[in-house]
């Protein structure tokens, strides 16, 4: 792409299945919706520091793309932007990004770790859903809301720490995370009382409530000995529950 081009428009290289590489000049400030959708042979892309926005589904279905560095100039990552990039092993999200769109990195099955900077106020619905290789995630202080099904189906994820800034966790946000045993929330979080659940603070022995953030099968940790009334009153997404032998009071 020659120097002087300021934007890559919607559908510009949509479905160019044989495209293996592309050079984007520093003059480009935006990458449009579906710009590289389905470019399944594209192995790498250098997004220059001039780009401020990555459009909806811009790189969706780029199944050979192995790594992406998002420059500090980018403020928004669109809906579905990198969904289905199954070979993506690393992604850098800079502090400049304030929003991660719905399903932005969904089904990027080779991603093993993700750091979400505090500049991001909202993690969109399904933003990291289906990341079956994800073993660690760092949500930095500054994030306010975690959308519905945001990390749904991240089957290798074991623990999550929720920063004090988070005020809402969407339905099914950690649904079908089969390996997830601990979600930690500091007592400094203003919503600590409503998040106060054995999964959020693993040393508790009483299950106060199963949060609506969970769905599928729910394994109650072995340290639980008591389950309060209506503990499962708002768990409409649960399909089954395993109660440990140590529980003496339900």
Q: Is 192 exposed, middle or buried (0-12, 13-18, 19+ CB in 10 A)?
A: middle
- Token pair for residue 157? 């994820």
pLDDT digits (tens, 9 = 90+) for 69-118: 899 999 999 999 999 999 999 899 999 999 999 999 999 999 999 999 99
pLDDT digits (tens, 9 = 90+) for 170-183: 877 887 787 887 78
Quote the DSSP letter at residue 201.
S
Position 55 scores a pLDDT of 97
Contact status, residue 60 vs residue 40, Cβ threshold 8 Å: no
Return the sign of the alpha-carbon dihedral for residues 83, 103, 115, 182: negative
Tens-level pLDDT at each residue, the chain (250 residues): 999 999 999 999 999 999 999 999 999 999 999 999 999 999 989 899 999 999 999 999 999 999 898 999 999 999 999 999 999 998 999 999 999 999 999 999 999 999 999 999 999 999 999 999 999 999 999 999 999 889 988 999 988 999 999 988 887 788 778 788 778 887 788 877 777 666 666 667 877 666 566 667 777 778 888 887 777 766 666 788 888 888 988 8
Position 31 scores a pLDDT of 98
Position 197 scores a pLDDT of 66
């Amino acid at each position: 792409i020659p120097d002087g081009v300021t934007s890559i428009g919607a559908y510009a290289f949509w479905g160019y299945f044989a495209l293996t590489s592309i050079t984007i000049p520093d003059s480009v400030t935006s990458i449009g919706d579906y710009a590289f959708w389905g470019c399944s042979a594209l192995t790498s892309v250098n997004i220059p520091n001039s780009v401020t926005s990555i459009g909806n589904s811009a790189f969706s279905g780029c199944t050979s793309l192995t790594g992406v560095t998002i420059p500090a100039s980018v403020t928004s990552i669109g809906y579905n932007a990198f969904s289905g990039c199954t070979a993506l092993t690393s992604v850098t999200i800079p502090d400049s990004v304030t929003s991660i769109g719905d399903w932005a990195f969904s089904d990027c099955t080779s991603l093993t770790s993700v750091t979400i900077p505090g500049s991001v106020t909202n993690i969109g619905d399904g933003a990291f859903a289906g990341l079956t290789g994800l073993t660690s995630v760092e949500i930095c202080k500054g994030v306010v809301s975690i959308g519905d099904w945001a990390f749904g189906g991240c089957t290798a994820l074991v623990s999550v720490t929720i920063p004090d800034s988070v005020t809402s966790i969407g339905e099914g946000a950690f649904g079908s995370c089969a390996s997830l045993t601990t979600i930690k929330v500091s007592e400094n979080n203003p919503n600590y009382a409503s998040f106060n659940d054995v999964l959020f603070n693993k040393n508790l022995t009483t299950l106060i409530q199963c949060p609506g953030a969970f769905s599928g099968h729910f394994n109650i940790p072995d340290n639980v000995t008591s389950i309060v009334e209506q503990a499962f009153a708002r768990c409409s997404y649960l399909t089954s529950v395993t109660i440990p032998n140590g529980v003496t009071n339900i």
